[in-house]
Amino acid sequence: MLKYELLLFTVIFISLLGGCCMSSADKKATCYNQQKIEGGLSFEKRKIVLHNLNDTGIVNAVFSFQNRTDDTLFIDTVRVSCGCMGTNYPYVALPPKYKGVITIRIDMSLVGTSFAKSAVVYLHNRQPSVLRIIGRKRNRVSTANSYKK
């Protein structure tokens, strides 16, 4: 009778957890309910700060990365937070130890004096990575409101 109760408790306990892998060794393994695996690309920087930018033109923010996993990875897409931005990223398989760059282009004529933008990198079956770009245009000295004697 005790074995039956223990078995019943184990089944209920596992079903409440959603059938997810439990051991610490399996943390990187895919769970039964197809949760996405953490990690993937290792970025040199996840945030770039830009200063003294022109009012017009295109600014490129370049994020260097490396595949530090033992798996071949694929970038599904890179989504940007604003229509003033565009992307360029490798559309190929990323084998282990692969080094590459993701370039985010910002049209300066479409952003304000100070801005904070983001891009989300979606990998196949992995958690997404968020990249941030913070910037400020040059200080402009306005003579329109200056007082002349």
Q: What's the whole-model pTM score?
A: 0.69
The pLDDT tens digits for 7-18 are 555 545 454 444
Which pLDDT tens digit goes with each residue over 47-93? 999 999 998 999 999 999 999 999 999 999 999 999 999 999 999 99
Confidence of residue 128 (pLDDT cuts 50, 70, 90): very high
**Complete DSSP assignment for 79-145:** EESSTTEEEE---S-B-TT-EEEEEEEEEGGGS-SEEEEEEEEEETTB--EEEEEEEEEPPPPP-TT
